[in-house]
Each structure stands twice: as C-alpha cells, then as structure tokens.
Chains A and B, each alone.
Chain A
Amino acid sequence: MAETAKLLGTKGSPYSHRAEVALRLKEANFEFLHEDLAHKSDMLLRYNPIHKKIPVLVHGEKSIVESLIVVEYVDEAFDGYAILPSDPYERAMARFWARYIDEKVIPAFWMSCWTDGEMQKGFIAQAKETLTTLEGQLKGKKFFGGDSIGFVDLAAGMVAFWFGILQEVAGINLLNEEDYPVLCRWADDYCSIEPVKESLLDRKLLVAHFASKKEKIFATKAPVYD
C-alpha cells in the first residue's frame, strides 16, 4: 500500500516509540500525529474505542492498536527491514521476551520509582531480578535481535532511554553500568541507531517533563498527562 500511514502517538511514550521506530526501519511513508493525552482527539477515540490509548497506526482506513501488535503489523505489511526473525522458534522467543518486558520488567521498574518504604524495597528487588534476567538474554550479542536491532530491542526501548530518566527523577539508581554493564552498553548502542535517534525526544526535555509531574505520578502510580 503506497498510501501514507498515520501514527497517532506522543514523543514521550515508549510505546509510541516502538511503533515509530518500526516505521522508520521500514523507511515507510508516515505522518506522526501528536496526541495531547490530556485531551484525546476524536480521531484517537474513533480508531481505538476500546482502550483509547496510543499508539494507533492508521493505514488506509484501517487502524491497528497495541504497540507490539502494531510492530508485528508493520513488519508484515511493509517490505524491507526484517524486524522479527523468520524462524518460527526464534519468533516465539522474540515474542516471549517482548511480553516479559511488558509484563515484568517495566511494571517492576515503574513501581520502584514511584513507591517508598518497604513496598519500594520489594519492587526494587523484583526490578533487579528482571533486569538481570533481561540482560542475560543479550549473552554475547550486540542487540537482542543479533547484529541488528529487532522486535525485542524495540520492546526494550523504554529500558534503553526512559529507565535512566525515570530513575533520575525518582532519585534511585537501579540501572547502572556497575550492576548491568552489558545492558547499559546495549542501551547506548540502541540509542545510537539512526531510526531510534530520530524518534527520541531530547533527554533534558523528558527529564523536565517527568520532574514536573513527579508528585502526581507518585500519588497515582500512573502516567500523568495534564
């Protein structure tokens, strides 16, 4: 389909990031439509009535939602760069680790940032375990995808760029070179890839954004948009 795709997203969202990088890797024609998540557009609500979240990829008149589903769609609908491997077993592994990032790595880290006391200690212990497990998957490879970035690298974008920012704002030091040398090296390499760089906001801006919302996020344990 030569038609220009539209990506509804925000630069501040690691989920939107996954979809954007996928499109850039494919050198797809797309338009990035910035959503104000405090005032969701009619378009967003029309194309994602069930979850009302970004990213939403609109391709032709069709909409695709849920970041990892969008990435798989982009991989299949557009020619060029292979985001997922072709071997069924390797694909199953990629899907497994992407899901692990979503269900275990991200929630543990997020909650480590926005809790305190005994609760925080518990989440930090979980976060450390999940980061160790994730780092183990790099075992001698440059990227999770091998020599070039793939599905799991995109899924782990939040780890590469956002984790450092969140922990700085929260005042904790979980992901550091001393404890996770391989993961930190991967993070630098990932963020240096051109399509990834093009999709990332200036770090200072993102730090300022989260710092300004810190108290509200701490209170709700959820991202805050207004």
Chain B
Amino acid sequence: MASEKGVMLLDFWVSPFGQRARIALAEKGVQYEYKEENLTEKSELLLKANPVHKKIPVLIHDGKPVCESLIIVEYINEVWSDKAPLMPSDPYQKAQARFWADFVDKKVYDCGSRLWKLKGEEQQAAKKEMIEILQLLEAQLGDKKYFGGDSFGFVDVAFVPFTSWFYSYETCANFSVEGVAPKIAQWAKRCMERESVAKTLYDPKKVYEFVCFLKKKFGVE
C-alpha cells in the first residue's frame, strides 16, 4: 500500500462485521472506496493489510490499515469526531457501550452460526441460547430508542447488521424474534429508517439465500 490519501474498505458484501464499518462511515459522511474481496481467493492487498488474521473488514486510511470491526468503528469515531458521535463522552457510558458491543461480538455470530449449521438437540440448545441472548439485549435496550439512548451509537452499530440475519435464524431454528424479544424487533425497524443502515443491510431473504448456499457448501441438510 502506498501512502495514498483516502479511505478504502476491504470487505465482503454480506459480512455483518464489514457492515459495521460501512454503517459507521456512512453515519460520518466519509467518502471511501469499497473493495469487494473474494474470500476463497484473498487479494494481495488484503494479505498485506491484514497479515495476522487475513480477514475482512480492513479499513485503509491514508495507506495505514486498521483491522477488527469494532476497533475500526472506534477509529472512525475518533478520527471523524466532528459529526455523529458514536460513543458517549462519559467514561462509564463508554465502558458500558464497549461491554455490550463485546457481548454481541462474543455471542451473536457464533450462536447464530450454530442455528443454521446444526440439527436436532444441538440446534435446540443453540436456539435456547439465542433467545437468552436476545432477551438480555432487549433488557439492556429497555424503552430507549437506541442502545445509545436518543442517538444511534456504538452498540447499535455493533448489533444492527445481525438484524438482517434474523430471518435466517428464525427460519432455520423455528422461532420468532418478535415473539421472544419484541423490543429488539421494533428497534431493528427503527434502525432501518436510518439511511446508513437501510443502504448497507441486504434484504433478509437475500441473506437467507446466502445461508442456504453455506449450508450446501458445508453439507448441512
């Protein structure tokens, strides 16, 4: 990477982790170049920008790469600090935001993957866990407009990409997010009213098509 001025994002269309970065950039009104990666044939640029993990997303800002989606979002928030603050300014509120974003990171993706990868009892266990996760998040949201309060914040950015996977989770494991965590379902709809989210997330049916492709690839019935 030459020290080219500008912002580039190495990403994969349906990745909820990449979408966090895209949403943060959109909220901040940052112009950037999007580069779609073929994850079965990773580009030289990706391997050079993220030699440790070789994963997307990678944000390259003026030639310098930033990796790991939540680290990228905090970076975006700190560099483009003049608009749309994604973190509260109070240290305790920041710690809370980091805790819940970390909770989403540790729990949602893994459990969600088990919902479509597994069958029978194992899938039932994953379903029970997912319901618990959604209900914990719902309790945290409470009656607030967003996890960030009145303003769309760090936890919202961390979690919202997974809302386009709800349909896949529901279909594979036979449950309803609205049924088990109605406030989360309503929050997801509110987030979709934001341009940054609406323009970034894919139609849940398209995500489900992708999940079906993955299921075939992994030999899951």
**Is B92 a contact of A99 with CB atoms below 8 Å?**
no
**Is A76 a contact of B103 with CB atoms below 8 Å?**
no
> Closest CB of chain A to B52's CB: distance in Å?
6
> Closest CB of chain B to A56's CB: distance in Å?
11
> Closest CB of chain A to B107's CB: distance in Å?
10
**Is B71 a contact of A59 with CB atoms below 8 Å?**
no
Q: A50-B103, A69-B98, A91-B78 are in contact. Are A96 and B67 (CB under 8 A)?
A: yes
A59, A72, A91, A133: the one contacting B52 at CB < 8 Å is A133
Residues of A within 8 A of B78 (CB): 88, 91
Q: Cβ of B219 < 8 Å from any Cβ of A?
A: no
> Closest CB of chain A to B191's CB: distance in Å?
23
**Is A89 a contact of B102 with CB atoms below 8 Å?**
no
Q: A88-B75, A91-B78 are in contact. Are A99 and B68 (CB under 8 A)?
A: yes
Report Cα–Cα, A2/B64, bound state, in Å. 40
Interface string of B41-66 (1 = CB under 8 A from A): 00000000000100000000100101
Residues of B within 8 A of A89 (CB): 61, 64, 66, 75
**Is B68 a contact of A62 with CB atoms below 8 Å?**
no
Residues of A within 8 A of B74 (CB): 91-92, 95
Task: Give the residue name and chain of the B residue nearest to A74 (CB).
Answer: B91
A-side interface mostly? helix
Residues of A within 8 A of B68 (CB): 95-96, 99
Q: In the complex, how many residues of chain B place their beta carbon closer than 8 angstroms to a beta carbon of chain A?
A: 21
Q: Cβ of B190 < 8 Å from any Cβ of A?
A: no
Report Cα–Cα, A94/B61, bound state, in Å. 17
**Is B75 a contact of A99 with CB atoms below 8 Å?**
no
For window 110-162 of chain A, which residues contact chain B by CB distance below 8 Å? 133
**Is A69 a contact of B102 with CB atoms below 8 Å?**
yes
For window 56-104 of chain B, which residues contact chain A by CB distance below 8 Å? 61, 64, 66-68, 71-72, 74-75, 78-79, 91-92, 94-95, 98-99, 102-103
Task: Give the residue name and chain of the A residue nearest to B100 (CB).
Answer: A50
Task: Give the residue name and chain of the B residue nearest to A93 (CB).
Answer: B66
Report Cα–Cα, A76/B96, bound state, in Å. 13
Residues of B within 8 A of A92 (CB): 66, 71-72, 74-75
**Is A69 a contact of B91 with CB atoms below 8 Å?**
no
Q: Cβ of A73 < 8 Å from any Cβ of B?
A: yes
A-B contact pairs, 29 of them (CB 8 A): A59-B92, A62-B92, A64-B99, A65-B99, A69-B98, A69-B99, A69-B102, A70-B95, A72-B95, A72-B98, A73-B92, A73-B95, A76-B91, A76-B94, A77-B91, A77-B92, A88-B75, A88-B78, A88-B79, A89-B61, A89-B66, A91-B75, A92-B66, A92-B71, A92-B72, A92-B75, A95-B71, A96-B67, A100-B52
Q: What is the interface of chain A, defined by CB distance below 8 A to chain B?
A: 50, 59, 62, 64-66, 69-70, 72-73, 76-77, 88-89, 91-92, 95-96, 99-100, 133
Q: What is the interface of chain B, defined by CB distance below 8 A to chain A?
A: 52, 61, 64, 66-68, 71-72, 74-75, 78-79, 91-92, 94-95, 98-99, 102-103, 136
3 interchain residue pairs of minimum CB distance: A76-B91, A88-B78, A77-B91
